[in-house]
Structure 1
Amino acid sequence: MTGEAETPEEGGAWEPVEHRFDHLPVHVALLHTGKVLAFGGSGNDETRLHHPYPAELFDPETGSLTVVDQELGGDVFCVGHAFLPDGRLLAAGGTYRYDGGIDPPALPGVPDLPNLPPFAGLDHTYLFDPDAERWTRGQDVHAGRWYPTLVTMGDGSVLAAAGLTKHPPWVALRKLELYTPGEGWRVLRGAGRWLPLYPRLHLLPDGTVFYAGSYNTHYTFPFSLRAFPTARFDVGRRTWTEYGLPSEQEREEGASALLPLRPGDDYRARVLLAGGGTPTGTEAVADTELIDLSAPDPRWRSVDSMAHARYYAYAVLLPDGTVFVMGGRSGKKGHVHGVGYDPETGEVASAPNAVHEAERFDPATETWTALAPMTVDRLYHSNALLLPDGRVLTCGSNPRRRVDELRIELYRPPYLFAGPRPTVDAAPERVVYGEAFDVETPDAPEVDEVVLVRQSSTTHCLNTDQRLVELVVEAKSEGTLTVRLPANPSLLPPGYYLLFVLREGVPSVAPFVRVAGGD
């Protein structure tokens, strides 16, 4: 870890948003319309199980908020989600019952037992259409899933893994399911594996899926303290290859990210794991580790540690290829009892050990630098994602039940204080695998690189949609760049991306482009 940020040019700057969410934004997604969808169902409030809160839409350009006034018929608190090729958000699972004997009980007429998992998963599927700004009900998953992970594959299908079941024995589900648009869900027979809740899954360029570690193992009774070795899943062969554990077992409730994929490095697939801790109640760590999954014998190795130990940290890929990490708290994980609303301001009071200092990881040097501190705690149930203008939206935090952080902050990285930005005058709305296309920009001769960053959907420090791919620039002329899209859909799963052009590390405002196969 190096330096202390003293100026916006060094550490960026934070800005508050005038408006705030009406309800806790447990799940957040950047839509191709430019708006941000936020929803949380019952929002970690068991009294709202049968009356969940509606979703909301935030417009970063105007700062306005609108409510999606629609009842779903199920609680989307703690679903898994990922984007489909057409830009709709697929959400599966959710909450069927809470802890504490809230209706419906685990076993009708039988008192809840202390060693039963406290939550049960819903088996619903919902799809959000960004253009219509409405939800529709999809085919149910084959079993309830509470805290599942969804990841979009290179063929546009979506893999679902993990989650607590709806019916006995209420353990983490072994079944893997695959959603195919227009067809629905099917179970992948013979591919089952025990995974913790909200496992960190990343699609690799070879089409396999890497499990980088756990988010939460506490509720996976009776497997709470077992080891879940990191592993790679071959969907076609339905086989798993294990790579062991990082130095800190499980590293639960930390952050992971698939680092930028670049043609000059043969699209080498590396995964970063930062912060977190163990499931045995120990304190958070600042440790950072990398694994190179393109190597002949992938192994975790330690690199420069963060300056701050963190649970509940978020990792956001920035268009300059660095990784922005924010939020969380040091010490032990869990609800922060005693924290409530400040009687003078009415805002959520700051929690002990909350980490406000942000940090940035440079994959080229494998080192961290300090960034400007934020003013609002971002703990459990917080979110962070990249916006088209290069800022980072942060929202949410839920130190304990019914204490909901509704304020929104926007972070402006140092590159927004580094001089004039390049501009994009025009880009295709749709680009095809393996084909070249033109980007009109008056800055073409000075552009250093062009990157695509996939639209994000985030929850619980998890963002499986997140990926950055550098494109090959084939030609430059006055006012035009000719770039080529890779032919490999596992590098860029079909869907919507932000197209940034960069000059000396300073990105443009990004238009959305849709990546698709040829007709």
Structure 2
Amino acid sequence: MRRILLEIVFLFLVTTCSDCQKLLLPGSWEVLVENAGIASMHTAVTRFNTVVLLDRTDIGPSRLSLPPNQCRNNPTDLLTHHDCTAHSALFDPTTRRVRPLSIITDTWCSSGQFLSDGTLLQTGGDYDGLRRIRSLRPSPYFEDPLFDWNELQHYELTAGRWYATNQILPDGSVIIVGGRSSPSLEFFPPKTKSKSKTKTTGPRPFPFLSETKDAQMDNLYPYVHLLPDGNLFIFANTKAILYDHFTDTVIRYYPELKGVPRNYPSAGSSAMLSLSDDHSTAEVIVCGGSGRYGVFAQHDSKAPAEITCGRITATDVASTWKMEDMPWGRIMGDMVMLPTGDVLIINGAKAGSQGFELGSTPSFNPVLYRPNEPFGHRFTVLAPTDVPRLYHSTANLLPDGRILVAGSNPHHFYQFGDNVTFPTELRLEAFSPEYLSPERANHRPKIELAPEKLVYGTPFEIEITVELAMLGVVEVNLGSAPFATHSFSMGQRLLKLNVSQSQQMGQTTTSGNRYRIGCIAPATGAVAPPGFYMMFAVNQGIPSVAKWVQMGS
């Protein structure tokens, strides 16, 4: 009886008292920067632990000035033809410095992906950015004057790509799927069909995007996941296919995910769960969404968001969707793969849809999804923020295990002030999961020694230290650095490596107990596309600070 009364008191406190939630629910929040100058619509973490923030260019003056002689002059901009403010920035989470970057063409609702050498590829947008390709090569030096956006002058996309999705492939190339009025795909760098001797000069038609769109439905920012067999799982609205990008063949149509449409503008989200064991099995989860069927459809901003999640084994030819409910409906939630293999669902709202002024009732509490727990016990409600994160907000995993939260501008242009509902948000926050709580610090491993480059299928060793002696096997997990925008993280994946039992090497007076762990690198580029990954050692569910390693041949 006493336990029941305590549970009732707890539920009352966490549902009626925001401060009580912060004290009683797992996790904690911190404002890193009060004014980053821009509201980040697109966010990506570089291999030098800096963060690229990127917004559209025609949104009006930002609160971050460009250096002298770098003003933009563009007669196609909606508001400011001569603009001396930045619409991209570089952020250092350690020093909390923000530095303006110069972006020229419009990046509104564009797409991106890191290449194998760590360069950030950025594609499409609107207006003068519709067919543009940009690149940004990270530098270890925060103030490096050469570290800035480069607009490719002699190459452009073969079709306009507004609201497209990018995914790096096993050979290091990038596939770019869809876009507004573009039911097609293409590659960077360009490539032809493997069975064809004829050079492809235009976009490759992709009928699936036409099949999933009609006069009342939009299927923008499709969910694209690279499976460990090299094929692609592509989801649009309520349907999904298994696609062979080498032969341009649809191998399979998956069963339809019942309920409302899920991707933009219906505002659900999706992630591929962590790959483990022999890395041959891949599961995909799709959560949330709304009943809004088209960008220009009439929609009630108070309409409750979808509460269901669908989970499917994408590599199983006989698989079907398994349904479960989140604690509440959510739209515009970002899914972040944590170093542990759990999924953080953060940001968004409980009603409406994506689009300007079309979301309401912010969802302040993140939710943790533990995929290996029994059905009905996988979701945990976490501590809330005070900052609404609605349309055009992002979330990215940082190498120290925190989640950087940025953006939110649910208006056509920048709007500030106390009289604005959900004003443009310039604050950068960090959410610390429970594994970073002070009482777990003495279990947190530290990577002391690890290779800088991993070769496919090759054994290697790392050395770690832990203050307290360890129990059980320490995981060694690789997390990619995705391009996060519009509730989907392009290229996101987490791999749990095959490891040996930790061997204790002795104790040091400064770092605690030292251990050596044998590991085997992923077997192929389909399991882990070439590029830079955050390597985490995970001890009893508590991750180390990551060490960046390069995956390749």
Equivalent residues of 2:229, 2:280 under 8 A apart:
no
1:273 aligns to what? 286
Mapped to 2, the partners of 1:208 and 1:186 lie a distance apart of 23
Between 288-297 and 181-190, the greater mean CA deviation after superposition: 181-190
Structure 1: which amino acid aligns with 2:306?
Answer: V
Change (3 A) 1:455 1:49: farther
- Return the match for 1:79 from 98, 101, 110: 110
CA distance in 2, matches of 1:307, 1:405: 26
Alignment of 1:94-105 (within 5 A): 94-96=125-127
Displacement of 1:490 in angstroms is: 0.9
Contact 2:58 2:106 in 1 (8 A): no
Q: What's the counterpart of residue 339 of structure 2?
A: 319
Is the contact between residue 271 and residue 285 of structure 2 (CA under 8 Å) also seen in structure 1? yes
Deviation at 1:47, TM superposition (A): 1.5
What SS does the corresponding residue of 2:383 show, helix, strand or coil? strand
The C-alpha deviation readout for 1:237-285, integer Å capped at 9, x for no partner, is 2112221431213223111000011016x54211111111233445311
SS at match of 1:263: coil
Question: How far off is 1:134 after superposition?
Answer: 1.9
**2:254 match: secondary structure:** strand
Residues 314 and 327, structure 1, Cα contact 8 Å, conserved in 2: yes
The aligned amino acid for 2:366 is A
Whether the 8 Å contact between 2:103 and 2:149 is mirrored in structure 1 is: no
**1:491 corresponds to 2:527:** yes
The corresponding residue for 1:359 is 367
AA aligned opposite 2:178? A
Query: What is aligned with 2:274?
Result: 260
Q: Which amino acid aligns with 1:458?
A: A
Amino acid at match of 1:411: F
User: TM (normalized to structure 1)?
Assistant: 0.82
- 1:234 maps to a residue whose letter is D
Q: Which runs of 5+ in 1 are unaligned?
A: 98-120, 165-171, 215-227, 339-350
Q: Counterpart amino acid of 2:462? A: V
Once residues 46 and 313 of structure 2 are traced to their aligned partners in structure 1, the CA distance between those partners, rounded to angstroms, is 31
| 1:283 match | 304
Q: 1:143 to 1:49 in 2, by over 3 A?
A: farther
- 1:467 counterpart residue number: 493
How many correspondences in the alignment? 457
Aligned to 2:157: 141
Aligned in 2, Cα 1:416/1:24: closer, same or farther, shift over 3 Å? Answer: same
1:64 aligns with 2:97: yes
Q: Which letter does structure 2 place at the counterpart of 1:66?
A: R
One-letter amino acid matched to 1:134: D
- Whether the aligned pair in 2 keeps the contact of 1:26 and 1:38 (CA below 8 Å) is yes
3-state DSSP of counterpart to 2:318: coil
Question: What is the match of residue 79 of structure 2?
Answer: 47
Query: 3-state DSSP class of the match of 2:395?
Result: strand
Matched, 1:153 2:169: yes
* Post-superposition CA distance 1:379-401 (Å, at most 9, x none): 10000010000000001001222
2:159 is paired with a residue whose SS is coil
Distance 1:414 1:382 in 2: 23
Using a 3 Å threshold, how does the CA distance of structure 1 residues 371 and 503 change in structure 2: closer, same or farther?
Answer: same
Q: Which has the larger radius of gyration?
A: 2
Give the direction of change, closer, same or farther, for the CA distance of 1:71–1:318 in structure 2 (3 Å limit): closer
**What's the CA shift string for 1:73-96, capped at 9, x where partnerless?**
x11222110110000111111111
SS at match of 1:246: coil
SS of match in other structure, 1:194? helix
Q: Which amino acid aligns with 1:509?
A: V
Pair 1:186–1:29, CA change in 2 (3 A):
farther
Q: Which residue of 2 is the match for residue 230 of structure 1?
A: 240
Q: Following the alignment from structure 1 to structure 2, what is the Cα–Cα distance between the partners of residues 212 and 182?
A: 23
Contact 2:183 2:205 in 1 (8 A): no
Distance 2:182 2:239 in 1: 17
* Shift, 1:302, TM fit: 0.3
Q: Distance in 2 between matches of 1:8 and 1:454?
A: 32
Is 1:482 the equivalent of 2:491?
no
Encode CA deviations 1:13-50: one digit per residue, 9 max, x unaligned. Answer: 01111343211211110000100000113264532478
**Residue identity matched to 1:374:** T
Partner secondary structure for residue 134 of structure 1 = coil
Query: Normalization by structure 2: what TM-score?
Result: 0.77
Over residues 282-313 of structure 1, what are the superposed CA-to-partner deviations in whole Å (9 max), with x where a residue is unaligned? 5311111101112231221202x111211111
Which residue number in structure 2 is paired with residue 333 of structure 1? 353
- 1:205 to 1:71, Cα distance in 2 relative to 1, 3 A: closer
CA deviation string 1:413-466 (max 9, x = no partner): 001113421100121111111111121212496552110000121111111221
Letter in 1 for 2:39: L
Structure 1 residue 190: Cα displacement: 5.5
Contact 2:287/2:307, CA 8 A, preserved across alignment = yes
Give 3-state SS (helix, strand or coil) of 2:399's partner: coil
Question: How far apart in 1 are the matches of 2:109 and 2:525?
Answer: 29
The whole-number CA distance in structure 1 between the counterparts of 2:239 and 2:410 is 29
* Alpha carbons of structure 1 residues 267 and 9: separation in structure 2 relative to 1, 3 Å: farther
SS of residue in 1 equivalent to 2:435: helix
Counterpart mapping for 1:364-379 below 5 A? 364-365=372-373, 366=375, 367-379=378-390
What is the 5 A alignment of 1:15-26? 15-26=30-41
Query: Which residue number in structure 1 is paired with residue 482 of structure 2?
Result: 456
Match of 2:214 in 1: none
- Structure 2 counterpart of 1:107: none
The letter of the residue matching 1:152 is I
**How far apart are the structure 2 equivalents of 1:8 and 1:390?**
21
Match of 2:537 in 1: 501
1: CA distance, partners of 2:33 / 2:352: 33
**38-47 vs 493-502, which moves further:** 38-47
* Secondary structure at the counterpart of residue 247 of structure 2: coil
State the partner residue of 2:418: none
Alpha-carbon contact 2:345-2:368 (below 8 Å) kept: yes
**Equivalent position of 2:74 in the other structure:** none
Tell me what 2:330 maps to.
Answer: 310
- Native 8 Å contact 1:174 1:194 kept in 2: yes
Identity of aligned residues (%): 31
1:297 maps to amino acid: A
Shift of residue 335 of structure 1?
A: 5.0
Unaligned runs of 5+ in 2: 1-9, 15-19, 61-77, 140-145, 193-198, 211-218, 294-298, 416-423, 506-514
Contact kept? 2:131, 2:156, Cα under 8 Å: yes
Shift of 1:336: 6.3
Range moving further from structure 2, 40-49 or 231-240: 40-49
2:449 corresponds in structure 1 to: 426
Decide which moves more: 16-25 or 406-415. Answer: 16-25
Partner Cα separation in structure 1 for residue 59 and residue 502 of structure 2? 52
